[in-house]
């Protein structure tokens, strides 16, 4: 590299540090020291190795840069300013109300793929983007900037193992090893060899460098671009707060604006106004996509017995035949969730993520960045491990589809460790999520197809055992809807159910009708958003609602109904799983939890 280029890179890095200090000072908060340590790394990446067209952020040829250490957002915004994407005025709006430059990056900025800041997520999501690159047969690269503190997160090593095993050579992780975390030193400090041994064990190419030497950085990034058949990690030894004596390599300076920003700017050599033309990618072929075809959903005969998990697998395979952009990800339970039907039909679009639920969800988020339509499935109970990734997917405004099987006590003898009893509450709490719980096979098939066009995080809950098919093939079930299955003007109460409890509610209603106690039954298959109109009508006509769900009483179906009708003042009784289940048959489990037909009928009698 010519000497003048080294000089430019050093000046650019100094400008990035100055602008990180300025932005944080204008906000009165932020993480300037975490930004300053990585300034040299990002200066060389942007000037020499990144291929990105800032005028066309949606170009399929663009590289992807993910700031896993999202708290270093002042550095990212300083880079955007240097590239001419934002003005200096906008840079100084950092963290202010209404600004696009939030404390941690979000896709409100068109050059940001996903929201970051919850540490340990950038690499797993980057793995998903790299997976998409392989599927699309395009040469773009995925660059992830990580801090050393977040390497304590287990999700990082789920990602490291998957990327190494799959040989994702289009993925490079740059670790800013600045030795200091939030409250003190990191576990391994500046021992980059400790990290190198760990990544090396997972099959990564490892490069250890001085993170403040532009020449070493340039060589390492070039080496990463030329590495074949495996991902690369660059372990860069840096100093937090580099360039300002007051904070350089000092504890207690994390997450704080500098006390004397003007002095710091002077120490860094003053203001600069360098501009940088980032190399645009070469426009090549369009991303590869598989062929589309007609949608022919499976059909199930009314009166037959079919598990909704079976219908999910068959319906997703049918959707895959209709849409070449649909991909499926498994948590090593495809034989149980029935995702294996898709795997058999479309092996190229099926991804085995093994028992790594955080990476499962993160890969789905990464693949949707590139326009794929991912469905990720595992047991409902195990999705709780990935709640933070689901939460951050919503912050990213990512469109992913999650399917949780083996829900509730109805799974039977396996016992409480396998029972999803908290999943509805978890998914309902996610920003702008959609939560669906079908009761039969034809409804499941229709909803799986419906989910493909649903924006944001959507979740569908399936049942392990066979349930009666009550709906005709081909019926539509729009998101936000419900079905009134029993109704008469003489109804004295309305039972609201979803999934397996719909069949218990119908049996209870029929039993009560035989005793001259008419009650209505609503199948509330859309738990979020709910059919407020149907619930309001039931609440105002009967005045008595009984909700019954194979789920904990907190946050599930009952609370969804209460949220919709509480201002109307009806009496609402919630039947839910309140005790700790053991092992028993499915029907015994429903009875023990007091959510079976007998318990429903008794609840109606008590209420009336």
Take residue 91 and report the two structure tokens written for it. Answer: 């840079």
342-352 burial code (b ≥16 CB/10 A, e <16): bbebbeebbbe
**CB-based contacts of 348, cutoff 8 Å, min separation 6:** 135, 290
Q: Which of 433, 413, 350, 338 is nearest to 379 (CA)?
A: 338
Select which of 153, 357, 450, 549 is catalytic: 357
Q: How far is CA 478 from the centre of its chain?
A: 24
Residue environment code for 414-452, b if the CB has 16+ CB neighbours within 10 A, otherwise e: eeeebbbbbbbbbbbebeebbbbbbbbbbbbbbbbbbbb
Regarding beta strands 494-497 and 350-352, do their DSSP bridges make them parallel or antiparallel, or are they unpaired? Answer: unpaired
Do the beta carbons of residue 127 and residue 370 sit within 8 Å? no
604 CB-near residues (< 8 Å, 6+ apart) = 492, 493, 495, 508, 512, 517, 519, 546
Closest CA to 572 of 529, 543, 541: 543
How far apart (Å, rounded) are the C-alpha atoms in residues 509 and 178? 66
∠ at Cα 330 (362, 311), nearest 5°?
125
Alpha helices in 101-174 (DSSP H): 122-136, 154-166
Element housing 509 (H / E): helix 500-514
**Would you tell me how many other CB atoms lie within 10 Å of the CB of residue 88?**
12
Q: Cα 594 from chain centroid? A: 34
Q: Which residues contact 484 (CB under 8 A, 6 or more apart)?
A: 520, 521, 522, 523, 534
Q: Are 282 and 49 in contact (CB under 8 A)?
A: no
d(CA 576, CA 590) in angstroms, rounded, equals 10
Is 340 assigned a catalytic role?
A: no
Catalytic residues: 357
């Amino acid at each position: 590299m010519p000497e003048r280029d080294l000089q430019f890179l050093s000046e650019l890095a100094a400008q990035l540090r100055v602008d990180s200090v300025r932005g944080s000072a204008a906000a009165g908060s932020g993480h300037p020291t975490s930004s300053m340590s990585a300034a040299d790394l990002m200066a060389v990446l942007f000037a020499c190795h990144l291929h990105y067209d800032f005028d066309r952020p949606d170009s399929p040829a663009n590289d992807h840069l993910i700031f896993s250490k999202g708290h270093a957002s002042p550095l990212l915004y300083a880079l955007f300013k240097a590239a001419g994407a934002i003005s200096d005025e906008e840079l100084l709006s950092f963290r202010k109300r209404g600004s696009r430059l939030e404390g941690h990056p979000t896709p409100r900025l068109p050059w940001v793929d996903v929201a970051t800041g919850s540490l340990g997520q950038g690499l797993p999501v980057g793995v998903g983007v790299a997976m998409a690159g392989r599927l699309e047969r395009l040469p773009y690269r995925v660059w992830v900037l990580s801090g050393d503190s977040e390497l304590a997160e287990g999700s990082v090593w789920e990602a490291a193992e998957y990327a190494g095993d799959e040989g994702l050579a289009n993925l490079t992780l740059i670790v800013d090893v600045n030795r200091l975390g939030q409250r003190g030193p990191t576990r391994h400090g500046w021992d980059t060899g400790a990290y190198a041994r760990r990544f090396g064990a997972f099959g990564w190419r490892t490069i250890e460098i001085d993170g403040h030497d532009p020449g070493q950085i340039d060589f390492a990034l070039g080496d990463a671009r030329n590495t074949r058949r495996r991902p690369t990690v660059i372990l860069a030894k840096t100093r937090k707060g580099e360039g300002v004596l007051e904070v350089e390599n000092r504890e207690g300076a994390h997450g704080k604006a500098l006390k004397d920003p003007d002095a710091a700017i002077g120490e860094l050599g003053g203001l600069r106004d360098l501009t940088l033309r980032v190399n645009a990618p070469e426009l090549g072929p369009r991303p590869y996509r598989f062929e589309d075809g007609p949608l022919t959903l499976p059909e199930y005969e009314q009166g037959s017995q079919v598990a909704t998990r079976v219908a999910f697998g068959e319906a997703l395979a049918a959707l895959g035949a209709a849409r070449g952009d649909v991909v499926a990800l498994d948590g090593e339970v495809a034989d149980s969730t029935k995702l294996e039907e898709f795997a058999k039909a479309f092996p190229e679009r099926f991804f085995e993520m093994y028992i790594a639920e955080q990476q499962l969800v993160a890969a789905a988020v990464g693949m949707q960045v590139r326009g794929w339509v991912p469905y990720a499935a595992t047991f409902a109970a195990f999705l709780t491990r990935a709640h933070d990734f689901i939460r951050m997917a919503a912050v990213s405004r990512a469109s992913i589809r999650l399917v949780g099987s083996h829900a509730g006590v109805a799974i039977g003898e396996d016992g409480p460790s396998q029972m999803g009893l908290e999943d509805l509450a978890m998914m309902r709490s996610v920003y702008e999520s959609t939560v669906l719980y079908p009761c039969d096979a034809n409804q499941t098939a229709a909803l799986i197809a419906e989910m493909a066009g649903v924006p944001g995080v959507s979740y569908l809950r399936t049942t392990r055992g066979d349930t009666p098919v009550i709906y005709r093939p081909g019926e539509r079930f729009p998101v936000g809807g419900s079905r009134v299955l029993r109704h008469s003007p003489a109804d004295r109460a309305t039972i609201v159910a979803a999934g397996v409890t719909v069949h218990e509610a119908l049996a209870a209603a029929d039993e009560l009708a035989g005793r001259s106690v008419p009650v209505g039954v609503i199948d509330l298959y859309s738990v979020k958003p709910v059919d407020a109109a149907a619930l309001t009508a039931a609440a105002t006509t009967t005045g008595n609602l009984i909700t019954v769900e194979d789920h904990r009483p907190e946050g599930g179906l009952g609370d969804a109904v209460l949220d919709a009708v509480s201002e109307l003042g009806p009496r609402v009784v919630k039947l839910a799983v309140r005790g700790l289940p053991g092992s028993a048959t499915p029907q015994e489990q429903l009875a023990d939890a007091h959510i079976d037909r007998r318990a429903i009928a008794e609840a109606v009698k008590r209420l009336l």
